[in-house]
């Protein structure tokens, strides 16, 4: 295998200017995106407050416990347990 001398890299003034212009462009895009996200966050906060108010009204009119609301949402319908000790221990009298 042939070895060659390391390549020498030189930083020119044109390269520095190009780097600075790209960096400024990226910073301005980032700033615009952050401002847009901040405006969207304000809108989301208002929507979340409205949703919380609607949930409070629904909770006030329908007095279900939190557990019942979750069970309804996931479709779980708990069955009552049959009997007491007799199902576990047979018909023994204590």
Instruction: Say yes or no to pLDDT of 77 above 60.
Output: yes
Chain center to CA of 45? 14
Residue ranges of the domains in the chain? 13-39
| CA atoms within 13 Å, Cβ hemisphere of 29 | 6
pLDDT in tens, 57-67: 555 545 678 88
One-character DSSP codes across 43-74: HHHHHHHHHHHHHHHHHHHS---HHHHHHHHH
Mean pLDDT of 33-47: 78
Distance CA 73, CA 56 (A): 17
Burial class of 69 by CB neighbour count within 10 A (0 to 12, 13 to 18, 19+) = middle
26 versus 48: which is more confidently predicted? 26
């Amino acid at each position: 295998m042939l070895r060659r001398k390391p390549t020498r890299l030189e930083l020119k003034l044109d390269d520095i200017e190009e780097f600075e212009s790209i960096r400024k462009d990226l910073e301005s895009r980032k700033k615009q995106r952050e401002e847009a996200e901040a405006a969207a966050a304000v809108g989301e906060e208002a929507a979340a407050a409205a949703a919380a108010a609607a949930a409070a009204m629904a909770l006030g009119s329908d007095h279900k416990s939190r557990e019942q609301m979750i069970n309804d949402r996931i479709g779980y319908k708990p069955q009552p347990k049959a009997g007491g000790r007799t199902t576990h221990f047979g018909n023994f009298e204590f």
